[in-house]
Structure 1
Amino acid sequence: MAVTSPTVTSAAPSPVPAVALGTVLAATIAQGMSGASVWLIPAGLALVLYLVAGWPGIRPVPRLLVAIGIAVVVAAMIRRGNAAPLPEAVARASFFAAFPVAMTLLREAAVTSPLMLRASRYLVNQPPGRRYWALTWGGHLIGLLLSFGALTLLTTMIRQSNTTADARIRDIREKRMVTAVMRGFITMPLWSPTSIALIAILQGTPSLHWIDVAPVGFALAATIIVLGWLVDRLQYRPRSVAPVEADPGPWTAVLGLAGLILALTALCIATAWLTGSSLQLATMLVVPLFTLAWATAQAWTGPAAWRAAIGRSIGQIGGAARASFPAGRNETALFAASGLISAGAVDLIPAGAAPWLVGLFAGHPGLFLVALVWLVVALALAGLTPMVTVALFASALGQSPPPELDPIKLAVALAGGWALSVGVAPLSNSVLLVAPLIQRTPIEVGPRWNGLFSALALALLSLGLALF
């Protein structure tokens, strides 16, 4: 008689992380909309529960930063002689942790959307003359909805579509297509209302609003994208005879994607105006509802089955959250630590430190901003994520900036340092995500592929900050 082995089934993921992060999101929105500090209690407790549950799987660096954040808040309370810094620290840590949660929910609806897949296929299969523009703007626009999921989606499609027999041409094409996507994606933090980078900067600079920074940030993003195209053209001369490409399909898919992005942005702005809240808070409120509506539209089979469509959508989003929320423990720990450090450090920095630092540059605040940008990039190359440095610098300088320091320029400088570091630093999330997808090393994808572009973009940004 044959002996059969017992079937081994993998255990379903624990619901604790999903429930905890969902509670952080809901309590943070409630606190922001109502102004009632009592909501900080469930937000803080749920965040602690999430971190404790996922602590064994959190890497050493995020663990260390969480410990540093707690120590900074404790030191701030000791210095002030009361617990006043604690509510602000909990509020900021919860906000930084909750905002990516909302974007993760949006990503779960987007990755199953036929429209998103058609738009991505259209971008990847463009002929050589238009491919760079298509992919760099595609990485930028899809990143608004998918965040890092845009890199995964487009890089995977690039890998699948790049089937040229000539290995040399295949490698060059892969490099050009991947760098195009990355160069478009990394400029998103300069202006996007869905970017955690700009959220961290605006949280640390109360005098600024999104609309103050977005026009300048978008202009800088477009300039850097053009620079990336010029670098690509100079490095790779166009072929006289272009190979035949796959049919990219109808361009209406990209138009539909752009319409979705415009609709989401308009809803967030309208909600912020109607509720009198910040755009960041309005985005956290709108995105989960937008996600449910988008997923329901995908499951829609007719007016008579609308309840079933909503039920399937809730099940899809809930199941995805249960699977993906535990996997984001390192990023969540990092975001929470950045909130703690940036909130607590304000009380530990001497009141005259910012004017003194600016004064070291002989009354030229532009040169100070240039040094700040280079410091953010240098620390990122050394392994310290810009999430921590930018949040800290924004809080230290943005709470009460020296009169000669323009808050908008400060925000653009910090966002620029963030953007230019994540495309070149070998330990940045974007490089670490892309490299294994195409079986390359982080050193190759980061410094080797994007080093020249990043250096030129950094020089261009520095020149603009110094002169204007």
Structure 2
Amino acid sequence: MTQTPDTPTPPPAAPPAGPANAGAAVGAAGGAAPLAGLLSMLLLGALVLGRVGEGWLPGAQALTVLAAAAAVTLTALRLGRVSRIAQIFVAAALVALAGIALMLPAALPAMGRALMQGTAFAAFLTALGLIRAPVRASRAIALAAEALFAHAARVRVVAVSLGAQFISVLFNIGTIGMISDIAGDHDAQRAAAGRRRIDTRAMTLGALRGTLMMTVWSPIGLGFAIVTSSIPALDPVAFLALAFAAAMAVAVASALLDARHAPPAAGPPETAPPGARGALWAVLAAVAGLVAVTVLLHRVLDISFLIAACLVLPVLALAWPRIERGMARPTGPALGRIASASEGMATESTIFLAAAVIGAAVAQAAQAAGIDALIESGQLPALAVILGCLVLIPAVGAVMIPHTIVMVMAAQLFGPSPVGADHPYALGLALCMAWALAISASPISAMSIITGRQLGLPPHRVTFAVNRGFTLFALAAALALTTAVYLLE
């Protein structure tokens, strides 16, 4: 199974915080764990310092090169422990690099830039791994999810779908299982009390759809990072607003359609558990603060959202246990914790590092074949390219081909091209929506697997039957929204 940060395999619902969990991933690495932790710290620290210090810090460029060397060394160190598909990606990247060196040596500088982009992805994933432990141990997030159920049936469908979109910024796909479990508990309590039951399937699907829409706009999501780092003409802050508005439009419309099938209100008003509403507002404030700080760092330090997230997430991971009351603080050496975080994202880091190199090679070959000239002459219309990406990437996911590589290739091929130069927002929106829809359409995505597990269905039935209507509706809406943005640009 191919996994991405937006679709990793989830842990148990509420694992305890502490060194035992941190040691599990490190134990899998064996004696290489201390070296992996040191390299991960070097990767993250050198990249952030190098990017922030560009223009004023002597040796900043050398720091970014050092970060790339750490990323490559890490990949080689744990190649035997990552998934088979990640190993295939690495082999393909080496073949692609050799092919460019032999046939298009003038394109080697572009391959170097692609390696740096892949290094940034690997550093980001390490930072994302660091935030996992406090988020999973957070009682506030579970309470926030409880607050979404304190509504009548029709409102509950909308509340869960939209609420899951924000909670999953922090909890990622763990939101699906958490909300499904809460729905099951509420349903059992209602059945015991002789009250109207909760449609647990609708709640699980609402959580799935909210999590899917989160991947369109989350500034700490890989899809958003790929797009904003690959289209030079794109203003990431303006695009964040556009992507958020588009995702909310699709989510609200879909939730309202689903709510029509829920029963009308009956019985006494729903009540939330003590502290649940406060926890929900606290989580919403945390998400808003995370976005605001990321935007602020992007503007003030003149760094990409990706690098800003690499700076913000470790700080948030360190601060969270000190802010939330009752949460156990992490113990053990920092090197062990960062080794655990890095090891937990090893497959994803390897895939994205290799995919950046492969995508650059394909883009360079296509440009050498004259694809830019076809676009500029009108023989390959820009709108056709943009909408083609929007349809092709989910189609690849639907036939169980990893969509990651197609996404990266499309972004690297068309982002710097006349398409990305003239229509950056339409292209960016198409790619971000395609990323979410590919996860929705793929039977091998972890979101489909988790949802199937919760519903007692095989993942392909979730994808091609239960969630098919949403995927097709979201695709139609994305095509319309992207075309509108294209015409207005």
TM-score by length of 2: 0.81
Which of 307, 332, 341 is the equivalent residue of 1:281?
307
Q: Give 1:368 shift.
A: 3.3
Q: Is 1:146 the equivalent of 2:171? A: yes
| Mapping of residues 21-60 of structure 1, within 5 Å | 21-35=40-54, 36-60=60-84
Does the aligned pair in 2 maintain the 1:40–1:87 contact within 8 Å?
A: no
Q: Give 1:466 shift.
A: 3.6
Q: Which residue of 1 aligns with 2:361?
A: 344
Q: Counterpart amino acid of 2:51?
A: G
Q: Give 1:211 shift.
A: 1.4
Q: Is 1:372 the equivalent of 2:389? A: yes
| Mapping of residues 355-394 of structure 1, within 5 Å | 355-356=373-374, 363=381, 365-394=382-411
Aligned-partner Cα distance in 2 for 1:243–1:359: 66
Q: Give 1:152 shift.
A: 4.2
1:11-60, Cα deviation, whole Å (9 max, x unpaired): 94442444433332222212322343322443233323433343333222
Aligned-partner Cα distance in 1 for 2:313–2:349: 18
Q: CA RMSD in A?
A: 3.2
Does the aligned pair in 1 maintain the 2:237–2:295 contact within 8 Å?
A: no
- Indicate how the Cα distance of structure 1 residues 451 and 246 shifts in structure 2: closer, same or farther if over 3 A, else same: same
Paired residue secondary structure (1:427): coil
| Mapping of residues 80-159 of structure 1, within 5 Å | 80-81=104-105, 83-124=108-149, 126-159=151-184
Q: Is 1:70 the equivalent of 2:88? A: no
Q: Counterpart amino acid of 1:327?
A: G
Q: Give 1:228 shift.
A: 1.7
Q: Give 1:415 shift.
A: 0.7
Q: Counterpart amino acid of 1:185?
A: T
| Mapping of residues 224-303 of structure 1, within 5 Å | 224-234=250-260, 236-239=261-264, 241=266, 247-249=272-274, 250-298=276-324
Provide the identity percentage.
Answer: 20
Aligned-partner Cα distance in 2 for 1:266–1:218: 14
Which of 203, 206, 211 is the equivalent residue of 1:177?
203
- Indicate how the Cα distance of structure 1 residues 237 and 112 shifts in structure 2: closer, same or farther if over 3 A, else same: closer
Does the aligned pair in 2 maintain the 1:124–1:154 contact within 8 Å?
A: no
Q: Counterpart amino acid of 2:156?
A: R
Q: Give 1:69 shift.
A: 1.9
- Indicate how the Cα distance of structure 1 residues 80 and 224 shifts in structure 2: closer, same or farther if over 3 A, else same: same
Q: Give 1:135 shift.
A: 1.5
Does the aligned pair in 1 maintain the 2:153–2:262 contact within 8 Å?
A: no
Q: Give 1:176 shift.
A: 0.6
Unaligned runs of 5+ in 2: 1-22, 55-59
- Indicate how the Cα distance of structure 1 residues 12 and 427 shifts in structure 2: closer, same or farther if over 3 A, else same: closer
Q: Counterpart amino acid of 2:214?
A: M
Paired residue secondary structure (2:345): helix
Aligned-partner Cα distance in 2 for 1:362–1:75: 26
Q: Which residue of 2 aligns with 1:353?
A: 371
Farther-moved stretch of structure 1 (321-330 vs 172-181): 321-330
Does the aligned pair in 1 maintain the 2:82–2:347 contact within 8 Å?
A: yes
- Indicate how the Cα distance of structure 1 residues 346 and 314 shifts in structure 2: closer, same or farther if over 3 A, else same: farther
Aligned-partner Cα distance in 2 for 1:143–1:247: 20
1:307-350, Cα deviation, whole Å (9 max, x unpaired): xx9xx446497665444532332222222122222233332222
- Indicate how the Cα distance of structure 1 residues 70 and 437 shifts in structure 2: closer, same or farther if over 3 A, else same: farther
Q: Counterpart amino acid of 2:361?
A: G
Paired residue secondary structure (1:399): coil
Aligned-partner Cα distance in 2 for 1:457–1:76: 38
1:173-230, Cα deviation, whole Å (9 max, x unpaired): 2221111111111112322211110110112112213113122211111111022213
Q: Counterpart amino acid of 1:415?
A: C
Does the aligned pair in 2 maintain the 1:21–1:50 contact within 8 Å?
A: yes
Q: Give 1:419 shift.
A: 1.2
Q: Give 1:275 shift.
A: 1.6
Aligned-partner Cα distance in 2 for 1:34–1:466: 39
Paired residue secondary structure (2:367): coil
Q: Counterpart amino acid of 1:25?
A: L
Which of 181, 197, 208 is the equivalent residue of 2:234?
208
Aligned-partner Cα distance in 2 for 1:263–1:360: 44
Farther-moved stretch of structure 1 (350-359 vs 452-461): 350-359
Does the aligned pair in 1 maintain the 2:126–2:345 contact within 8 Å?
A: no
Paired residue secondary structure (2:418): coil
Does the aligned pair in 1 maintain the 2:96–2:358 contact within 8 Å?
A: yes
TM-score by length of 1: 0.85
Q: Counterpart amino acid of 1:34?
A: G
- Indicate how the Cα distance of structure 1 residues 315 and 224 shifts in structure 2: closer, same or farther if over 3 A, else same: farther
Q: Counterpart amino acid of 2:130?
A: L
Paired residue secondary structure (1:56): coil
Paired residue secondary structure (2:220): coil
- Indicate how the Cα distance of structure 1 residues 435 and 334 shifts in structure 2: closer, same or farther if over 3 A, else same: farther
Paired residue secondary structure (2:441): coil
- Indicate how the Cα distance of structure 1 residues 160 and 75 shifts in structure 2: closer, same or farther if over 3 A, else same: farther
Q: Which residue of 1 aligns with 2:12?
A: none
Does the aligned pair in 2 maintain the 1:96–1:336 contact within 8 Å?
A: yes
Q: Counterpart amino acid of 1:117?
A: A
